[in-house]
Amino acid sequence: MQIIRKNFTLKILAVALAIVGWAYIRFANNPVIAAHFNEQLTVPITTVNVPLGYVVHYTESSATVTIANKRGVPPVRAQDVKAVLDLAGRGAGVYNVPVELVAPDVAIQSLSPASVTLTLEKLAHQTARVVLHYVGNLRTGVVVSQSSTSPQNVSVSGASGAISQIAEIRTDVPIPEAPHDFDEMLRPIPVDAGGHEVDGVQVAPDLVRVQVTFVSATTR
């Protein structure tokens, strides 16, 4: 008993250090244990092989990827991983496309979302005449004597679904309180039958010159 009690604290410490050392040697080189270092990355979702003359719409902008890293191996960088939607060989329609990862040789633990629902639409183009739309107080006592736009027609392009919603291309001209010669560059706006702007449509040119002569209603 005397031998056991002598330097008892030091002996306990030595045993503890021995156990720690054994555990390190036992598990540090074990590939199963060493692989339990998960890394989570958020990467943008992009499309590849979009057919010429088509546009794609989808709501998910990024994917979350969980990667199992090995001990001693540098962590994977987000810029080294790509989440892509391959649209090769597809035409207009709605599809559920699997998310494909382009990454170094790593073990993927999870991927969310695993697929993305998207719409593939054909691009459409048309020419439309610019319509003047007068806004403001209609009881100012002034009327339009003459008006013009330059150019008179604009080019409209976008997804076929959006183009089909356009009722007219208009510019909003404010009505003055008194006779006035209006001459400004205004934006032509694609609107639907309810007068709401149609999104996802490009108009060229994006500005047109609008000239309007407002005169007193009593002088006409």
Helix ranges (H only) for the chain are 2-5, 8-28, 31-34, 160-163
Pair 108, 136: CB distance under 8 Å: no
pLDDT digits (tens, 9 = 90+) for 59-76: 999 999 998 877 666 777
Pair 180, 148: CB distance under 8 Å: no
pLDDT at 108: 83
Residues 181/187/188/190 CA torsion (nearest 10 deg): -140
Instruction: Judge whether 35-113 and 123-219 match in fold.
Output: yes
Domain ranges of the chain: 2-31, 35-113, 123-219
Across the range 166-192, mean pLDDT stands at 94
Residue 43 pLDDT > 80, yes or no?
yes
Q: Is 31 or 52 the better-scoring residue by pLDDT?
A: 52
Confidence of residue 79 (pLDDT cuts 50, 70, 90): confident
CATH number corresponding to 123-219? 2.170.120.40
Confidence of residue 36 (pLDDT cuts 50, 70, 90): low
Compute CA distances 197 → 160, 169, 174, whole Å. 16, 9, 18
CATH class, domain 35-113, is: mainly beta
